[in-house]
């Protein structure tokens, strides 16, 4: 196991002792005044850190071995650096993942695991009641700011805790690459000042992507019906990846024009998988296994890694590349440390929009273990995608009995408490081995059960506890009484 001690995990205790100050590298700073006023000692040789952050995107790229399309700019970045084949995000939906990566902590440890929680306003409307989540730790942008870095975020900032854009970012813009013009991206920083920036790209949500991939040319995974609607959605996802490849090329080109490319560490990754059911919002491979490529100074070139990596480790590596020590309270690790190792990675799904759920996943070298805590409900509870054609087709084919056993499993009214998959033999996760008579499967199941329950306790997984009345009232206010049909809402209606 690769857990840190419980004391190091307890972020509340760490916060009480000024964790943000302790996190700063002694070599990079000299103290002046009290311990909370640190001055950068030398920023001239510090690398820039750039996150190119995609939404809803699977690693269906040519450098990952996909033959459907060619992604030349993504491939070039991989050749310049490291391609991670087994990078798993801590959640299969955006705001918990973003909350985790921006803090370097599991979202479940900082009560940021419920999707779109701790929001005082929503799409222009003020919440009558809401539950503020004050996490008590500094985010990565705040740590970089204290280190003298210029920080920016061009796009989504959906963090499930109380924060201020002004505290985190010197510049906050809308989604997308602005061409690094007129003060956007890195162009408003002081001369010679390094930057930590995020460029958020719509990824799989980019509906305006040109249609270049034919539905007839795609492969339909065995857990989906081979139906024109699914072929169309899969083809569209390839189209969005081609568009992201073009935008990445524009970003790299501008970095080169501004003389920044050689001293910029670029992390290219996605928050979770594509929009189709069983991918987004769920902890199967299509939901949490994400593209991750890192390239730049002090990063090995033209390397492929097959070891287990958590999305949290992007945060750890970013800090270490800048010469900043990873705070003890963080769960993040340095991807490029000589002793980097994870025996398991963990992912969690909780409430998504207005649908309550609790699922945990443990991924090991060969097996994946999934624990469904709410077996009284089907996988396909009411959700925002219900009116999409691919959802209607799935439900219709299920009702008509036209799905095979594998396809029907996700659409049926029941789900098991536990799932175990041999990812080596069954990469599509179609054969549940929980009741297998084979010794190797039984031993793996026992080990991963133990790993999960130790992780729940040692990281203080707050999904064990129900949301407060104030939080549930905010969800009802946000989505309406009709959609909030889970029984847990009844106590506040």
Tens of pLDDT, residues 252-289: 999 999 999 999 999 999 999 999 999 999 999 999 99
Q: Parallel, antiparallel, or unpaired for β 303-305 and 264-270?
A: unpaired
**pLDDT value at 247 more than 90:** yes
Tokens 């935008």, residue located: 247
Domain boundaries, given as residue ranges, for the chain: 48-332+341-491
- Give me the numbers of helices (H) and strands (E) for the chain, helices first please: 14, 17
**pTM given for the model:** 0.92
228-257 helix and 389-399 helix, angle to the nearest 10 degrees:
150
pLDDT computed for residue 5 by the predictor: 40
CA distance 220 to 289: 18
Q: What is the pLDDT of residue 208?
A: 87
Q: How far apart are CA 280 and CA 289, in angstroms?
A: 11
* Residue that the structure tokens 């900043």 belong to: 324
Rg of the chain (C-alpha set):
22
Query: How far is Cα 390 from Cα 233, in angstroms, rounded to an integer?
Result: 8
Phi-psi region of 291 (alpha: psi -120 to 50; beta: other; left: phi over 0): beta
Closest to 463 in 3D by CA, of 328, 330, 358: 358
* Number of residues written out for the chain: 493
**pLDDT tens-digit series, residues 225-237:** 999 999 999 999 9
- Cβ atoms of residues 195 and 48 within 8 Å: yes
According to DSSP, the residues that pair with 30 across neighbouring strands are 39
- The whole-number pLDDT of residue 125 equals 84
pLDDT digits (tens, 9 = 90+) for 181-225: 999 999 999 999 999 999 999 999 988 899 999 999 999 999 999
Q: Which residue reads 């996943």 in tokens?
A: 361
* Beta strand extents in 307-408 (DSSP E only): 309-310, 345-349, 359-363, 367-372
Write out the two tokens for 301: 């070139």
Mean per-residue pLDDT, 356-381: 97
Residue 12 has pLDDT above 80, yes or no: no
Torsion sign over Cα 177, 179, 180, 182? negative
Q: How confident is the model at residue 40 (pLDDT cuts 50, 70, 90)?
A: low
Rounded CA gap, 70 and 80, in Å? 17
Q: Which residue, among 161, 184, 146, has the nearest Cα to 28 in the 3D structure?
A: 146
Q: Which helix (H) or strand (E) covers residue 53, if one does?
A: strand 48-54
Average pLDDT score, the chain: 92
Alpha-carbon distance of 58 to 88, in angstroms, equals 11
At the top level of CATH, which class does the domain 48-332+341-491 belong to?
Answer: alpha beta
3-state secondary structure of 479: helix
Residue whose tokens read 């490029």: 336
The span from the CA of 282 to the CA of 357, in Å, is 10
Measured between its terminal Cα atoms, the distance across the chain in Å is 44
Q: Bridge-partner residues for 201, per DSSP?
A: 54
Alpha carbon 44 to its chain centroid, in Å, reads: 32
pLDDT of res. 473: 94
pLDDT at 69 over 80: yes
- Phi-psi label, residue 50: left if phi above 0, alpha if psi -120 to 50, beta otherwise: beta
Q: Position of tokens 């590298």?
A: 25
């Amino acid at each position: 196991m690769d857990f840190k001690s419980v004391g190091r995990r307890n972020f509340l205790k760490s916060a009480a002792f000024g964790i943000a100050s302790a996190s700063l590298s002694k070599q990079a700073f000299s103290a002046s005044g009290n311990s909370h006023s640190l001055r950068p000692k030398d920023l001239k040789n510090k690398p820039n850190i750039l996150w190119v952050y995609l939404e809803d995107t699977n690693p269906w790229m040519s450098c990952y071995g996909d033959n459907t399309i060619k992604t030349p700019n993504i491939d070039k970045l991989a050749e310049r650096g490291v391609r991670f084949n087994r990078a798993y995000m801590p959640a299969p939906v955006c705001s918990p993942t973003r909350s985790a990566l921006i803090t370097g902590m599991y979202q479940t440890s900082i009560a940021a695991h419920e999707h779109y929680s701790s929001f005082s306003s929503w799409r222009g409307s003020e919440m009558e009641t809401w539950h503020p989540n004050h996490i008590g730790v500094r985010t990565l942008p705040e740590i970089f700011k204290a280190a003298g870095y210029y920080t920016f975020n061009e796009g989504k900032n959906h963090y499930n805790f109380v924060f201020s854009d002004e505290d985190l970012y010197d510049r906050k813009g809308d989604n997308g690459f602005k061409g690094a013009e007129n003060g956007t991206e890195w162009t408003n920083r002081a001369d010679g000042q390094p930057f930590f920036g995020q460029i958020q790209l719509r990824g799989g949500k980019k509906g305006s992507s040109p249609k270049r991939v034919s539905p007839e040319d795609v492969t339909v995974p065995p857990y989906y019906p081979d139906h024109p609607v699914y072929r169309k959605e899969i083809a569209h996802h390839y189209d969005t990846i081609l568009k992201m490849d073009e935008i990445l090329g524009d970003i790299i080109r501008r970095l080169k024009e501004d003389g920044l490319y050689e001293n910029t560490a670029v992390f290219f990754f996605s928050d979770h998988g594509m929009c189709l059911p069983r991918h987004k919002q769920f902890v199967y491979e299509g939901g949490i296994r994400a593209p991750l490529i890192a390239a730049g100074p002090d990063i090995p070139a033209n390397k492929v890694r097959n070891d287990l990596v958590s999305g949290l480790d992007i945060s750890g590596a970013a800090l270490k590349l800048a010469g900043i020590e990873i705070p003890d309270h963080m769960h993040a690790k340095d991807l490029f440390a000589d002793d980097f190792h994870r025996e398991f990675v963990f992912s969690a799904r909780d409430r998504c929009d207005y649908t309550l759920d609790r699922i945990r996943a443990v991924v090991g070298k060969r097996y994946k273990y999934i624990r469904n805590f709410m077996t009284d409900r089907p996988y396909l509870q009411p959700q925002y995608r219900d009116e999409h054609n691919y959802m209607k087709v799935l439900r219709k084919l299920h009702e008509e009995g036209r799905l095979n056993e594998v396809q029907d499993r996700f659409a049926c009214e029941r789900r098991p408490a536990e799932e175990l998959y041999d990812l080596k033999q069954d990469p599509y996760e179609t054969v549940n081995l929980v009741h297998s008579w084979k010794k190797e499967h039984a031993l793996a199941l026992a080990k991963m059960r133990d790993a999960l329950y130790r992780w729940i306790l040692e990281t203080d997984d707050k999904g064990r506890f129900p949301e407060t009345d104030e939080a549930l009232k905010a969800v009802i206010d946000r989505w309406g009484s009709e959609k909030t049909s889970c029984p847990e809402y009844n106590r506040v209606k």
